Amino acid sequence: MSALLSVAGLKVAYGGIHAVRGINFDIAPGERVCLIGANGAGKTTTLKAIAGLLPESAGSVHFDGQPVTRRAPHEIARLGLNLVPEGRGVFPRMSVAENLLMGAYTRNDAPAVRLDLERIYELFPRLAERRAQKAGLLSGGEQQMLALGRAMMSRPRLLMLDEPSMGLAPIMVETIFGFIRDIADSGVALLLVEQNAHWALKTCERGYVMDQGELTLSGNTNDLASDPAVRAAYLGES
């Protein structure tokens, strides 16, 4: 099967700091892939570069065979490659419904948008209950649901998730990852960056370990979860 996302020799630098150092990886259609590593390893920078939010200093990114390097973020999103950013990034003064409709801003099929909006409310009943409420008044977990729903309104083929569990209570983390699995089960491919390696490895089929801007280990998630180095560094086990 040909890759849906292909990253080759990607490098990203901030001035003299080399945050990402020539990484290579592919994601197949419908595949669930995670990227784990310590803070500062380059994970978020990688996602932002793929999404067009940061310039690459070298390398290439292809989505569905098309080069997306140097393309504007809204053009990349229109192709079906969407990022749910760290910290959720909701529009706090806009209502839940308005936030969701912002996810469909690249679309011009109003009847289908309305149908998708109702599907999001079915997937996230709590958002349906709060559709008229300002997003800034939602809890952290509700804002994460909103960020996921907003991304789904663009009809993504690949969803990149940056730290979806950040700041959430354990019971809400479990709920959010249940929603993420539901989204993946619908056929959407995932690239998940998650500090909670337990949930990342449990949710995905394949994973990469990133350290100081380089991919140092890769494999199926069962093997990574059994690797002594991964268990010691990221799962809190000796």
**211-216, long-range: CB < 8 A, 24+ apart:** 211/37, 211/38, 211/41, 212/21, 212/41, 212/42, 213/18, 213/19, 213/20, 213/21, 213/23, 213/41, 213/42, 214/21, 214/22, 214/23, 214/42, 215/23, 215/24, 215/25
Percentage of the chain beyond pLDDT 90 is 87
CA–CA separation, 199 and 221 (whole Å)? 11
Residue 238 has pLDDT above 70, yes or no: no
Structure tokens at 90: 């909701």
Amino acid identity, residue 153?
Answer: M
Residue 206 has pLDDT above 60, yes or no: yes
1 — pLDDT class (breaks 50, 70, 90): low
Q: What is the pLDDT of residue 9?
A: 98
Domains (range + CATH), the chain: 5-234 (3.40.50.300)
Q: What is the mean pLDDT of the chain?
A: 94
Scan for tokens 């950013």, then name that residue.
85
Neighbours of 237 (CB within 10 A): 10
Task: DSSP for 216-229, please give it.
Answer: EEEEEHHHHHH-HH
Residue 60 has pLDDT above 70, yes or no: yes
3 state DSSP class of 112: helix
Q: What is the pLDDT of residue 107?
A: 85
Scan for tokens 């390398």, then name that residue.
59
Classify 215 in phi/psi space as left (phi over 0), alpha (psi -120 to 50) or beta: beta
CA–CA separation, 128 and 145 (whole Å)? 11
> Could you report the per-residue pLDDT of 88-144, keeping only the tens digit for each?
889 999 999 999 999 998 888 999 999 999 999 999 999 999 999 999 999 999 999
Residue 80 has pLDDT above 60, yes or no: yes
pTM above 0.85, yes or no: yes
Give the mean pLDDT of 45-64: 96
Q: What is the DSSP letter of 115?
A: H
50 — pLDDT class (breaks 50, 70, 90): very high
Burial class (CB in 10 A: 0-12, 13-18, 19+), 175: middle
Structure tokens at 227: 């690797």
